[in-house]
């Protein structure tokens, strides 16, 4: 049965790995939006676990899923999506914990989602950078965007790596049933690709992005480029087995654009 959009439920889903202090600075901003907040600790060190415990102790409504060892962003998001599924939450608003994305965009993203006719949609952020962004990060995104365009037959991929997006829980959980889904850094790109493949409507919206001067990043240029490239190659190969359905959804998007 089709449900009205005013019955859809939302939560924030924040995977965190040794970014507890940065996340702690933004907790009041998240809470002001009045939707549940789920934090998935992906095996942070002892110091960060202490900070996360303080955050949850100060705000008992926050849900903390804690892991002993680091298994990757993809695995952390899977745990969050699984929690949402068990608690009948329709959409997970995934936000990276590194404090790079402007939370001022949250109301616009939520309103755009609620304005959709079908629950089968995802709102994907594309970054509006200031002058703090490293050039290598911008170049890597262009390459990734190109390959997602190829594997989805979609010319208008705005961004494939932004960690600021609204996932439809039911559709995302279907993707996670695939045993080969990435557990680590390529997950943003892979989930977007597979949402396209499954006929989910993708809407892009801008979000301001700043790289904090004293911020820390887990991005390793060579390592992550190799991992991302390998996943793109895997998806390109898989594309041939899915081509008829990929073509069908691409033509449907073209007709409705």
Is the predicted pLDDT of residue 213 greater than 90, yes or no?
no
Is the predicted pLDDT of residue 216 greater than 80, yes or no?
no
Q: Which domains does the chain have, with CATH numbers?
A: 5-256 (3.90.550.10)
Per the prediction, the chain carries an average pLDDT of 94
Is the predicted pLDDT of residue 204 greater than 60, yes or no?
yes
Give residue-wise pLDDT tens across range 148-200. 999 999 999 999 999 999 999 999 999 999 999 999 889 999 999 999 999 99
Identify the pLDDT of residue 46.
Answer: 97
Share of the chain above pLDDT 90, in %: 86
Identify the pLDDT of residue 123.
Answer: 99
Answer positive or negative: Cα dihedral of 229, 134, 130, 107: positive
Identify the pLDDT of residue 145.
Answer: 97
In Å, the largest CA–CA distance within the chain is: 53
The three-state secondary structure class of 72 is: coil
Is the predicted pLDDT of residue 11 greater than 60, yes or no?
yes
Where is 165: in which H helix or E strand?
strand 164-168
Identify which has the larger pLDDT, 13 or 214. 13
Identify the pLDDT of residue 211.
Answer: 86
Residue tagged 């977007």 (tokens): 192
Cα(145)–Cα(155) distance, integer angstroms:
9
Cα(159)–Cα(207) distance, integer angstroms:
11
pTM for this model (two decimals): 0.95
Share of the chain above pLDDT 70, in %: 96
Is the predicted pLDDT of residue 217 greater than 80, yes or no?
no
Can you tell me the mean pLDDT for 41-58? Answer: 97
Query: Residue 113 pairs with which residues in a beta bridge?
Result: none
Identify which has the larger pLDDT, 19 or 1. 19
Give residue-wise pLDDT tens across range 121-136. 999 999 999 988 888 7
Cβ 209 vs Cβ 96: under 8 Å:
no
pLDDT band at 2 (very low <50, low <70, confident <90, very high): confident
Tokens of 138: 């911008």
Identify the pLDDT of residue 224.
Answer: 81
Answer positive or negative: Cα dihedral of 160, 165, 169, 173: positive
Cβ 134 vs Cβ 211: under 8 Å:
yes
Identify the pLDDT of residue 116.
Answer: 97
Specify the length of the chain in residues: 257
Identify the pLDDT of residue 222.
Answer: 74
């Amino acid at each position: 049965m089709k449900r009205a959009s005013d019955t859809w439920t939302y939560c924030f889903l924040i995977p965190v790995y040794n970014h507890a202090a940065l996340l702690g600075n933004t907790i009041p901003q998240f809470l002001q939006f009045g939707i549940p907040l789920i934090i998935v600790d992906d095996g942070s060190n002892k110091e960060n676990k202490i900070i996360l415990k303080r955050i949850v102790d100060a705000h008992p409504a926050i849900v903390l899923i804690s892991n002993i060892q680091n298994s990757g962003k993809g695995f952390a998001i899977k745990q969050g999506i699984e929690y949402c599924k068990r608690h009948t939450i329709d959409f997970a608003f995934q936000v990276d914990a590194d404090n790079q994305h402007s939370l001022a965009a949250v109301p616009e993203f939520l309103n755009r989602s609620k304005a959709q006719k079908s629950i089968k949609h995802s709102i994907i952020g594309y970054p509006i950078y200031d002058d703090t962004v490293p050039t290598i990060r911008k170049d890597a995104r262009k390459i990734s965007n190109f390959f997602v365009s190829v594997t989805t037959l979609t010319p208008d991929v705005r961004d494939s790596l932004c960690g600021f997006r609204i996932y439809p829980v039911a559709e995302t959980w279907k993707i996670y049933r695939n045993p080969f889904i990435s557990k680590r850094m390529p997950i943003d790109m892979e989930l977007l690709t597979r949402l396209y493949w499954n006929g989910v409507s993708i809407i892009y919206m801008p979000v301001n992005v700043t790289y904090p001067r004293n911020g820390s990043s887990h991005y390793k240029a060579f390592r992550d480029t190799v991992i991302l490239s390998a996943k793109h190659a895997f998806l390109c190969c898989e594309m041939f087995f899915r081509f008829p359905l990929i073509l069908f959804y691409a033509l449907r998007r073209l007709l409705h654009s």
